[in-house]
Amino acid sequence: MIIPKIVRKFLFLLFSLWAVATLTFLLMHAIPGDPFISDQALPEEVLRSLYAHYGLDRPLLVQYGNYLWDLLHGNLGISITYAGRGVAELIQEAFPVSARVGLQALVLAIPCGTAIGLFSALRQGSLQDRGLMLFSSIGLSLPNFVIAALLQYLFAIQLPFFPIARWGGIEHTILPTLTLSLPPIAFIARLTRANAVESLRENYIKLAFAKGLSLTRIALRHLLPNAFLPVISYLGPITAQILMGSFMVERIFALPGLGQWMIHSIHTRDYPTILGLAFFFSALLLTATCIVDLLLSLIDPRIRSRWRVHES
């Protein structure tokens, strides 16, 4: 029964990628100007030669067809700004930096947010609960660039524990990782608390307390499995949030990740780089969302039962 679900997810993934590729292509060509707008002082013959070299002199429908054909063959194009360098080469060079910081933020956010949410639920209404929920509200309301500036001021200027920017050893990843992880920690904490508080009202939890089970055992064996299911469903969106939020963070901390390439390609109207990076991010995030959805379906028997009802 899992096979039809996988097939449907795969078809949905393909359709979503086509929609993203199409919309990005149309938006890029709807914006006034072109990649050579700053080179208008060049002779007309040179500009015509550049347009012909990159295929920008062809009808829009032909450009779109060539773009989709290249995508089907795994060709993301050649950068206009960095002549001679393929977009896939740029991704191969910069993605490990973004992936490292993003993975560290996920590894930090998931256990910390879950632990805070469980602790807050077990201390519902207490001073600790109110303080933690206040922290989570602040963490959700502050944008990444404000968090980054505060961390740089506190732990790089006032207390010079970490480098303020640039890329090097693991010490250069600490502040960017904290910047990216704080909002997800706050969201996961609130999500876990809400589900744990709801579970505390269930009869099986009351029975566990009546049996005299320790609070730690009740939290780990009974509260955590139910409270963690919504967190699993959030792993797809949280990946998107961290990667998209890393654009600004990478800019602030001067990290040589994909965010730098994306921002610079937008400024220079580098069509192949913009389209290639947008497609890469979309493929990565949509795939992660589909995998998380399938994983959640395998873990939660209630979802599997809904499949059976739907398929029957």
- Give the pLDDT confidence score for residue 22 in this predicted structure: 92
- Give the pLDDT confidence score for residue 3 in this predicted structure: 64
CB distance 226 to 282 below 8 Å: no
Local mean pLDDT, 10-residue blocks, the chain (312 residues): 72 89 87 68 76 82 90 86 82 87 89 88 84 87 88 89 84 90 89 82 74 72 74 76 74 84 82 87 83 73 48 45
Q: Which domain holds residue 188?
A: 95-275
- Give the pLDDT confidence score for residue 12 in this predicted structure: 86
Residue 3 lies in a domain: no
Residue 299 lies in a domain: no
- Picking from 299, 309, 303, 294, the residue whose alpha carbon sits closest to that of residue 12 is 294
CB distance 223 to 199 below 8 Å: yes
Residue 54 lies in a domain: no
> Measured in Å, how far apart are the chain's first and last C-alpha atoms?
11
φ/ψ region of 125 (left if φ > 0, alpha if ψ in -120 to 50, else beta) reads: left
Residue 192 lies in a domain: yes
- Give the pLDDT confidence score for residue 310 in this predicted structure: 44
Residue 17 lies in a domain: no
Element (H, E) at 274: helix 271-299
Residue 145 lies in a domain: yes
Count of domains forming the chain: 1
Residue 170 maps to which CATH number?
A: 1.10.3720.10
Structure token digits, residue 2: 């899992």
CA distance 73 to 88: 12
Q: Which residues contact 72 (CB under 8 A, 6 or more apart)?
A: none
- Give the pLDDT confidence score for residue 175 in this predicted structure: 92
Residue 259 lies in a domain: yes
CA distance 187 to 42: 52
CA distance 262 to 264: 6
CB distance 267 to 81 below 8 Å: no
- Picking from 227, 234, 230, the residue whose alpha carbon sits closest to that of residue 201 is 227
Angle between helices 301-311 and 271-299 (to 10 degrees): 100
Residue 179 lies in a domain: yes
